[in-house]
């Protein structure tokens, strides 16, 4: 943890001072993205010390051969990996004949990074004295356009500080990149084609095996003191996978030499593979015509629109403010919801760890955020993503011995295929199937829009219900249905029997699916007939589903009055985390796996995840009992843990605890709690931070097509506000200790419930409660 690393600021992430040790961490924290591509905050110029180079394109992956110590039947042979994409940001810099390399400068002063979240750009500035004594000021601004998501821009300015200087810009594009995270050190890219003409260049490369074609391009223009120099590159180096230009500029002391580099990718996911260079030319032409200032202005406006809907303000706590905005900003950099082929990777565009892109995080944590801060189509695209993978989920289940269209979604995936290979996760952490069904329910609950279910959702639900019915077995001993051999959300238990959460969501999935079948049958006959013709579901099978659901077993302790996380949970030594010596934490670093497994310690909400999803199935007294039983045993060693507990602590009125959990989630990366931010950011858990405020402190729920709030405020804050897109109207909620204020942007009045009482909110009129 490093609390003094980032300068507190309401709207920007700021680092001051150059520290070689922090370069990789800052490369993560200052990452930029626009949903279609993204990159770590690597330096444009050469850098000879430790760095983790990363540039990524959404949807472009490589199937890496599985590495495993002992093979088990059912393991996938290949894993889709996030692929390090060709470098387009590189600009070699020579000043008076010497290469600029921050690791080799005599002095580096006034080094500063700023990630301006309000406007969506990243700036780096410093003054350097090179080995040859030349002193320069450097100022670099970079952004990835939201308006044209194939475009990135860099404005790289150099000003000689003592006497004139000969400045050479060597901008390049390079497809000769490798992954940090590879199993077998294979090359991922194969060069196809290199072209250049005038100030522009294009390198086309193809991924091995998956055969994605990507054209990486650049276009450069040079300015001196703000005036464009109409020069062509004096030298061009072109290889099979790289093009480098050279521009010489003579700048007097105080005069600024600037290169504006446009760059990015056009990819065969979105264009005919033969037209990639033409498509890139079009991007360049359009951007060039607009000019840098206009592009930056567009970017500001596009981000302003996002913030208009998604911003959360916090008064009186700048670090909390900075934290929540950083989370919202990163989520929007990662995924904007335009393309149902894409999803939200756990590290977004900030690193390669974890291989695949999609976890149950999307359904359990991210969808609520996107539903409330974007229009409905975004969440619907996330649902559609799973619909498109249904066939593969059915194949996946077949591999494990299931039949008749039962679907098991992968634990981690890019293209619908499993990307994980620990048997206890891959084969056993099957509750993921439940979250995918729950998201369909949640989407309908929040948006009121049922059409997704007859259109696509019901087929997914049927595949999932089939899986649960087949996965359960009748215990002749207890004459109830059981689900044996699973890993629950608490991954610190493996191969357990009757995980409460898994059994509960399985039962719910089946029952919800049965209800939707009935509803679609009545209200959407054409869809019903189309689906039934496809899935071959008969009454006998439905009865079997019902039998399993209605006779599901849940481990329960009469003595404690709680559902047990799994069979045999009470046989453990139930020593609370508070009595564990600090030297033993985090247990996942300090203990061997078997010790963790037989301990009672819980990685993240498990039974309580069920109480979170199905809050209204339980009383507050039940919640309290379970919270008091399980939270003291929870080590919160997953980034997804504190948010659920924060929400539940808020429900129980324990605001101090809720606030503590909130802090832990919102600045996880900024303060580098786990000393691993250099590997990339924890993107999906950032949505949990948003939930902590809106659902936790704000107490927002949707019940019977109506918004409910139970606003609370941590005593550390003066006030906070958030906005909700509720059925195409924007409701702004501003909470202060004394009152909660509602403002509605829309045209229909809205009745919300505040602490159980109806409040009528008229369009564009402030209501204070």
If binding is defined by CB under 8 A, does position 187 make contact with a second copy? Answer: no
Taking residue 285's Cβ as centre, other Cβ atoms within 10 Å add up to 12
If binding is defined by CB under 8 A, does position 449 make contact with a second copy? Answer: no
Q: Encoding tokens for residue 130?
A: 């090179």
In 718-764 the beta strands, taken as DSSP E runs, fall at 719-726, 729-736, 740-745, 750-754, 757-761
CA distance 283 to 600: 56
If binding is defined by CB under 8 A, does position 399 make contact with a second copy? Answer: yes
If binding is defined by CB under 8 A, does position 534 make contact with a second copy? Answer: no
Query: What's the distance, CA 477 to chain centroid?
Result: 44
Burial class (CB in 10 A: 0-12, 13-18, 19+), 191: middle
If binding is defined by CB under 8 A, does position 73 make contact with a second copy? Answer: yes
If binding is defined by CB under 8 A, does position 474 make contact with a second copy? Answer: yes
- List CB contacts of 730: < 8 A, sequence separation 6 or more: 309, 723, 724, 744, 745, 746
CB of 480 to a second copy, least distance (A): 9
User: How would you classify residue 209: left for phi > 0, otherwise alpha for psi between -120 and 50, otherwise beta?
Assistant: left
SS3 of 166, please?
Answer: strand
In 312-458 the beta strands, taken as DSSP E runs, fall at 313-315
- Of 193, 313, 475, 729, the one binding a second copy (CB under 8 A) is 475
Question: In this structure, is the dihedral angle defined by the CA atoms of residues 130, 134, 137 and 143, taken in order, positive or negative?
Answer: negative
Burial class (CB in 10 A: 0-12, 13-18, 19+), 247: buried
If binding is defined by CB under 8 A, does position 184 make contact with a second copy? Answer: no
Terminal CA-to-CA distance of the chain, rounded, Å? Answer: 40
Residue located via tokens 């605890």? 657
- Of 1, 318, 515, 574, the one binding a second copy (CB under 8 A) is 574
User: What is the per-residue binding string for a second copy in 347-386, x denoting contact by CB under 8 A?
Assistant: ----------------------------------------
- Of 108, 192, 570, 767, the one binding a second copy (CB under 8 A) is 570
Residue located via tokens 């003291």? 632
Q: Encoding tokens for residue 498?
A: 């009757």
Nearer to a second copy, 592 or 619 (CB): 592
- Of 428, 637, 672, 695, the one binding a second copy (CB under 8 A) is 428
Of the listed pieces 39-47, 568-576, 648-656, 719-727, which binds a second copy according to CB under 8 A?
A: 568-576
- Of 329, 427, 446, 709, the one binding a second copy (CB under 8 A) is 427
21 is catalytic: no
- Of 106, 211, 478, 534, the one binding a second copy (CB under 8 A) is 478
- Of 590, 620, 748, 760, the one binding a second copy (CB under 8 A) is 590
CB of 67 to a second copy, least distance (A): 5
If binding is defined by CB under 8 A, does position 74 make contact with a second copy? Answer: yes
If binding is defined by CB under 8 A, does position 473 make contact with a second copy? Answer: yes
Length of the chain: 769
If binding is defined by CB under 8 A, does position 576 make contact with a second copy? Answer: no
If binding is defined by CB under 8 A, does position 580 make contact with a second copy? Answer: no
CA distance 225 to 249: 11
If binding is defined by CB under 8 A, does position 72 make contact with a second copy? Answer: yes
- Of 2, 3, 10, 495, the one binding a second copy (CB under 8 A) is 495
Nearer to a second copy, 319 or 353 (CB): 353
CB of 493 to a second copy, least distance (A): 8
Do 122 and 141 touch, CB atoms closer than 8 A?
A: yes
If binding is defined by CB under 8 A, does position 305 make contact with a second copy? Answer: no
Nearer to a second copy, 62 or 354 (CB): 354
- List CB contacts of 253: < 8 A, sequence separation 6 or more: 160, 161, 162, 163, 164
Total chain residues near a second copy (CB under 8 A): 49
Nearer to a second copy, 607 or 658 (CB): 607
CA distance 583 to 128: 43
Looking at 27, 44, 417, 491, which residue is catalytic?
A: 491
Bridge-based pairing state of the strands 740-745 and 235-238: unpaired
Do 224 and 258 touch, CB atoms closer than 8 A?
A: yes
If binding is defined by CB under 8 A, does position 674 make contact with a second copy? Answer: no
Residue located via tokens 């056009």? 266
- Of 401, 448, 561, 758, the one binding a second copy (CB under 8 A) is 401
Of the listed pieces 72-80, 186-194, 321-329, 652-660, which binds a second copy according to CB under 8 A?
A: 72-80
If binding is defined by CB under 8 A, does position 756 make contact with a second copy? Answer: no
Partners of 714 in the beta sheet?
Answer: none
Nearer to a second copy, 227 or 583 (CB): 583
- Of 12, 494, 513, 641, the one binding a second copy (CB under 8 A) is 494
- List CB contacts of 471: < 8 A, sequence separation 6 or more: 402, 406, 430, 483, 506
- Of 522, 589, 616, 675, the one binding a second copy (CB under 8 A) is 589
CA distance 597 to 589: 13
- List CB contacts of 287: < 8 A, sequence separation 6 or more: 145, 148, 151, 153, 219, 262, 295
If binding is defined by CB under 8 A, does position 421 make contact with a second copy? Answer: yes
If binding is defined by CB under 8 A, does position 479 make contact with a second copy? Answer: no
CB of 596 to a second copy, least distance (A): 8
Residue located via tokens 């061997």? 592
**Which residues would be at the binding site for a second copy (CB under 8 A)?**
66-70, 72-74, 399-401, 421-424, 427-428, 473-478, 482, 484-485, 494-498, 559, 567-568, 570-574, 588-595, 597-598
Instruction: Give me the active site residues, please.
Output: 491
């Amino acid at each position: 943890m490093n609390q003094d690393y980032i300068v507190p600021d309401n709207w920007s992430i700021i680092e001051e001072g150059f520290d070689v040790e922090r370069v990789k961490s800052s490369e993560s924290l200052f990452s930029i993205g626009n949903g279609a591509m993204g990159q770590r905050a690597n330096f444009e110029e050469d850098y000879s010390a430790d760095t983790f180079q990363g540039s990524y394109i959404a949807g472009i992956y490589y199937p890496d051969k599985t590495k495993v110590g002992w093979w088990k039947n059912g393991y996938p042979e290949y894993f889709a990996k996030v692929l390090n994409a060709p470098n387009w940001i590189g600009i070699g810099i020579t000043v008076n004949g010497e290469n600029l390399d921050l690791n080799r400068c005599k002095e580096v002063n006034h080094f500063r990074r700023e990630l301006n979240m309000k406007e969506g750009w990243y700036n780096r500035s410093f003054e350097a004295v090179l080995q040859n004594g030349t002193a320069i000021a450097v100022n670099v601004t970079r952004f990835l356009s939201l308006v044209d998501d194939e475009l990135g821009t860099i404005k790289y300015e150099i000003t000689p500080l003592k006497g004139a200087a000969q400045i050479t810009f060597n901008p390049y594009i390079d497809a000769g990149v490798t992954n940090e995270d590879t199993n077998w050190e294979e090359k991922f890219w194969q060069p196809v084609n290199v072209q250049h003409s005038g100030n522009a260049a294009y390198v086309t490369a193809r991924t091995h095996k998956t055969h994605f074609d990507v054209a990486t391009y650049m276009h450069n223009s040079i300015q001196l003191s703000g005036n464009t120099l109409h020069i062509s590159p004096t030298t061009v180096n072109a290889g099979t996978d790289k093009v480098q230009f050279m521009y010489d500029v003579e700048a007097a002391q105080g005069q600024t030499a600037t290169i504006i580099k446009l760059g990015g990718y056009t990819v065969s996911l979105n264009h005919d593979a033969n037209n990639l260079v033409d498509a890139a030319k079009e991007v360049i032409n359009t951007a060039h015509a607009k000019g840098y200032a206009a592009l930056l202005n567009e970017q500001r406006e596009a981000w302003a629109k996002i913030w208009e809907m998604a911003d959360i303000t916090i008064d009186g706590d700048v670090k909390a403010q900075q934290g929540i905005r950083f989370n919202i900003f990163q989520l929007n950099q990662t995924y904007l919801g335009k393309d149902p082929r894409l999803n939200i990777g756990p590290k977004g565009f900030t690193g390669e760890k974890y291989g695949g892109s999609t976890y149950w995080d999307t359904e359990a944590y991210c969808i609520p955020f996107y539903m409330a801060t974007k229009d409905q189509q975004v969440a619907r695209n996330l649902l559609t993503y799973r619909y498109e993978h249904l066939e593969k989920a059915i194949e996946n289940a077949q591999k494990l011995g299931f039949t008749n269209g039962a679907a098991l979604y992968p634990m981690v995936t890019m293209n619908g295929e499993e990307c994980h290979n620990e048997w206890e996760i891959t084969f056993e952490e099957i509750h993921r199937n439940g979250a995918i069904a729950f998201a369909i329910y949640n989407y309908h609950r929040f948006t009121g829009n049922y059409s997704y279910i007859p259109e696509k959702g019901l087929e997914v639900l049927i595949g999932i219900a089939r899986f649960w019915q087949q996965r359960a077995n009748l215990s002749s001993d207890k004459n109830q249905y059981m689900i044996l051999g699973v890993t629950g959300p608490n991954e610190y238990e493996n191969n357990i029997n009757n995980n409460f959460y898994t059994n509960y969501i399985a039962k719910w999935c089946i029952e919800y699916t049965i209800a939707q079948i009935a509803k679609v049958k009545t209200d959407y006959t054409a869809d019903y007939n189309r689906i039934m013709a496809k899935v071959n579901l008969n009454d006998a099978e439905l009865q079997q589903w019902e039998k399993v659901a209605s006779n599901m077993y849940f481990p329960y302790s009469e003595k404690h009055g709680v559902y047990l996380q799994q069979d045999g949970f009470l046989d453990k030594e139930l020593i609370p985390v508070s009595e564990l010596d600090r030297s033993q934490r985090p247990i996942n670093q300090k203990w061997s796996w078997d010790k963790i497994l037989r301990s009672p310690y819980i990685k993240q909400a498990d039974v309580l995840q069920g109480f979170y999803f199905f809050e209204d199935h339980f009383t507050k007294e039940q919640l309290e009992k379970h919270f008091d039983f399980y939270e003291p045993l929870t080590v919160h060693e997953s980034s997804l843990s504190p948010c659920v507990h924060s929400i539940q602590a808020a429900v129980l009125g324990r605001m101090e605890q809720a606030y503590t959990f909130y802090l832990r989630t919102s600045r996880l990366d900024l303060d580098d709690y786990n000393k691993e931010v250099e590997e990339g950011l924890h993107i999906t858990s950032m949505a949990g931070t948003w939930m902590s405020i809106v659902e936790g402190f704000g107490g927002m729920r949707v019940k019977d097509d109506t918004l409910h709030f139970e606003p609370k405020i941590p005593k550390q804050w003066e006030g906070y506000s958030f906005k909700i897109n509720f059925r195409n109207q924007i409701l702004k909620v501003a909470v202060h200790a004394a009152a909660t204020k509602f403002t509605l942007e829309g045209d229909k009045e809205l009745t919300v419930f505040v602490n159980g009482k109806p409040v009528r909110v008229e369009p564009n009129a402030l209501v204070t409660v």
